[in-house]
């Protein structure tokens, strides 16, 4: 399914802005800009994923900062003074709001 935007030639919209407008202010962590402080709103996943992320300090309401997300490979985050790397697949399950 292709999404067509009703935009004229000079109007541009980024994927994160479009997704953000559809989800009421939430975007997947994988789409968050580098250097921004974010608040985790929701985590989609089963008990195993939720427990693993909770052990790392990633729970709804927690504040994180994206240190590195460009290119391929894992995303580097700062959580409660520690740096952790998460794969892009798991980052798609974490919905955040930009503070």
Q: What are 69-98's pLDDT values in tens digits? A: 988 899 999 999 999 999 999 999 999 998
For 46, the domain range is 25-98
- pTM for this structure? 0.75
- By C-alpha distance, which of 86, 81, 77 is closest to 49? 86
How many structural domains is the chain composed of? Answer: 1
CATH number, residue 64? 2.30.30.90
Q: What are phi and psi of 29, to 5 degrees?
A: -55, -30
Query: What would the two tokens of residue 51 be?
Result: 């427990």
Q: How far apart are alpha carbons 88 and 10 in whole angstroms?
A: 32
């Amino acid at each position: 399914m292709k999404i067509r935007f009703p935009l004229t030639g000079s109007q541009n919209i980024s994927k994160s802005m479009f997704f953000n407008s559809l989800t009421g202010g939430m975007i997947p962590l994988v789409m968050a800009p580098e250097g921004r402080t974010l608040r985790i709103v929701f985590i989609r996943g089963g008990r195993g994923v939720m427990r693993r992320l909770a052990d790392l300090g990633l729970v709804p309401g927690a504040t994180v900062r994206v240190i590195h997300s460009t290119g391929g490979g894992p995303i580097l985050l700062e959580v409660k003074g520690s740096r952790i790397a998460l794969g892009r697949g798991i980052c798609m399950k974490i919905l955040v709001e930009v503070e």
